[in-house]
Amino acid sequence: MIRPLALLLLLMGPALAQDVPAARRAAEAERAAAAQAAERAREAAAQAQQLASERIAGAARVQAAERAALAAGTRAEAARRAEAEARTEQERIAAELAPLMPLLMRLAAQPAPILLAAPLPPAEVAMGLAALRAMLREAQSMAEALRAAEARAAEEARRFAEERRQRGLAEAEARQASIQLDRQLDAARQQLAERSAAERAAAARAEEAVARAQSLEEAMARLEREQARRAEAERRAEARRQTAAERRLAARRPAEPPPEPAPVPVPSAGSSQPVAGRLVRGFNSPGEGGPAKGLTFAASPGARVTAPCGGSVAFAAPFRSYGRMVILDCGQGQHLVLAGMERLDVSAGQRVQAGEPLGVLPGAGSPTLYVELRRRGEAVDPRPLVRAGA
């Protein structure tokens, strides 16, 4: 007597034999598709890295040219002051010599007859001659000082003209480098426009949460809550995906393991000053509103601002009196605030590397960039992360 299970296997044997090759082909096709997707992801990551490197190099050229222009401007101003001082000294000496010149010229030509003609004792005549010689030596010394002041004024004038020329060349180089960088940024903006709807929605929620805040402290707290909520949602979604993938793998038991996904870039920390300028207010320095919670840099109009750390852009929009502001999530619970820009070159949700351009300061007046570092909600000294030149 044939048992039911044996009979079932006997009847389904041919069908099972036909399905095994088909299942293998399907598994192989899926593995090939996964490998192609991983390869495309690696290529996209490599291309993104190349473009980011180009933007970093472009921003570095712009800031180098801006620093050269600032240095040339400083030297030109020093030369202008030195020329003015030399001219002032020249005029002072000339004014002191002017009343004495007629008498000195006569005495220099015939000092003895003038004194000998006077009805004076010989001893007084001798003393007068000695005094005249001393006066002539003093006048000669003043004349030499006058000639030296004139020469120094002329040299400082030449140096001023040369420094102005060098500043013009550096400013032209900065403009050209800025134009090239803007082209690279346009290409980056086109790529960002292709981000998924989910990424755009998450970035928009974070931006909206920050925009509703009444202060920077409240904005940072809202941002951290939104990021924690998003991270938890992503963790759960990843756990669901992992579980589903494990079930599929267990069902198929493929002969070869699936290809590893492309590595996710880790936020990098930098140590570069975010703008070509000088530090005008340090962390914890006193002020009207109490000790400073960040750093303030003074820079030239239209100066470029770059990322001191790598990570993701958590916020990029106008905020209260801070102007256009960027908040970078640098990882390890660190958020870097950069405020005071007139134009932004990044958007929320975008990943950046240290040195990539973030925006541009106002093109007129005396613009400043404010930089604040928050570590787990507390303002800390940004200088370990930001190289702050004096």
* Angle, in degrees to the nearest 10, between helices 4-97 and 122-192: 160
What is the distance in angstroms between the CA of the first residue and the CA of the last residue of the chain? 97
**What pLDDT, in 10s, does the model give residues 8-45?**
445 555 554 555 566 556 556 666 666 666 666 666 66
- DSSP state at residue 303: -
With a cut of 50, say whether residue 270 has pLDDT above it.
no
Asked whether residue 343 carries a pLDDT value surpassing 80, the answer given is yes
Confidence of residue 338 (pLDDT cuts 50, 70, 90): very high
Tell me which residue of 343, 339, 70, 90 sits closest to 220, measured CA to CA.
339
Q: What is the dihedral of CA 21, 23, 28, 30, to 10 degrees?
A: 160
SS3 291: coil
**DSSP H or E stretch at residue 277:** strand 277-281
3 pLDDT above the threshold of 70: no
Residues paired with 326 in a beta bridge: 316, 338
How many Cβ atoms sit within 10 Å of the Cβ of residue 358?
A: 26
Residue in the structure block whose two tokens are 């002329």? 154
Residue (of 167, 159, 239, 185) closest to 56 by Cα position: 185
The residues, any chain, with a CB within 8 Å of residue 187's CB and separated by 6 or more, are 51
**Between 71 and 184, residue with greater pLDDT:** 71
Helix axes 101-109, 122-192, angle to 10 degrees: 130
pLDDT digits 0-9 by tens, 141-181? 777 777 777 787 778 778 878 888 887 888 788 778 778 77
**pLDDT confidence bin for 255, thresholds 50/70/90:** very low
Measured distance CA(303)–CA(174) in Å, rounded: 9
The one-character DSSP state at 269 is B
